[in-house]
Structure 1
């Protein structure tokens, strides 16, 4: 070990080389998973981090309006229609 070089200066390139190697390995794994040939062994097409999505729509809700509410809504529609 040279006398004028500190321990941190010697460890710097080693740490950078290790980080680069880990980055390359991680990138290779990600690229391997995204290949079209690699998707054949995936049995579940859903992403594991997403919650279960139900396949049916929620029940429709309907509320009957009173005649005064219908008139007020019709007036609002007329006001918004004039704004063009």
Structure 2
């Protein structure tokens, strides 16, 4: 035992170290028991109130613009670019 450390300081450090080790052991046991009680992720029940989700993305839609609409859109883009 070092000369500049009192017996109570050494005892306190030892008690804290033992308490920390016991806390970690207890925490790991609790987490393991909680994880064991949870059902696996693959066996979740299907919610019947929700509609069936599509697996694929919807088809892209395209609308042909008239020449007047194209000119109006080009003017709008120019206005927005000039504002920068």
Please tell me the TM-score bracket, short chain as reference: 0.3 to 0.5
Q: Look at both structures and tell me which one has the larger radius of gyration over its CA atoms.
A: 2
Structure with bigger RCO (C-alpha 8 Å, 6+ apart): 1
TM-score in terms of structure 1 length: 0.45
- TM-score scaled by structure 2? 0.45
